[in-house]
């Protein structure tokens, strides 16, 4: 599976690394191992389909990694996952 990170997600990871290197390392490890190697990342146990205001934005899913949330758009025809946002739980919803 191909994984694309938006500029917003990359900036968040770079900024948060200074304050929480262990947490960001776990997020990167999760992206590189679990999401990259999974044939269908929506079947992972820490995954949920987003509803409410996110429903109109497309096929958005959320993965929990520690205190962080990864929000991404799964495009099944191309087997790609575009990570739109990575944020803390307090700011995710």
| pLDDT tens per residue, range 54-80 | 777 778 899 999 999 998 888 876 667
At 77 the pLDDT is 64
Backbone angles phi, psi at 21, to 5 degrees: -65, -35
* DSSP state letter for 59: S
What distance in Å separates the CA atoms of residue 63 and residue 28, rounded to the nearest whole number?
A: 13
We report the CATH number of the domain holding residue 61 as 3.30.2310.20
Distance set, CA 54 to CA 44, 51, 84 (Å): 20, 6, 12
Task: Supply the range of the domain harboring residue 22.
Answer: 2-92
2-5 vs 47-49, strand pairing mode: unpaired
- What is the model's pTM? 0.85
Total structural domains within the chain: 1
| Tokens found for residue 57 | 């934005």
């Amino acid at each position: 599976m191909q994984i694309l990170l938006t500029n917003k997600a990359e900036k968040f990871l770079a900024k948060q690394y200074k304050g929480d290197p262990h947490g960001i390392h776990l997020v990167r490890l999760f992206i590189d191992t679990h999401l990259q190697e999974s044939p269908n990342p929506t079947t992972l146990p820490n995954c949920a389909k987003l509803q409410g205001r996110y429903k109109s934005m497309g096929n958005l899913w959320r993965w929990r990694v520690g205190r962080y949330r990864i929000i991404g758009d799964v495009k099944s025809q191309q087997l790609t996952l575009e990570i739109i946002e990575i944020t803390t739980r307090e700011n995710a919803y």
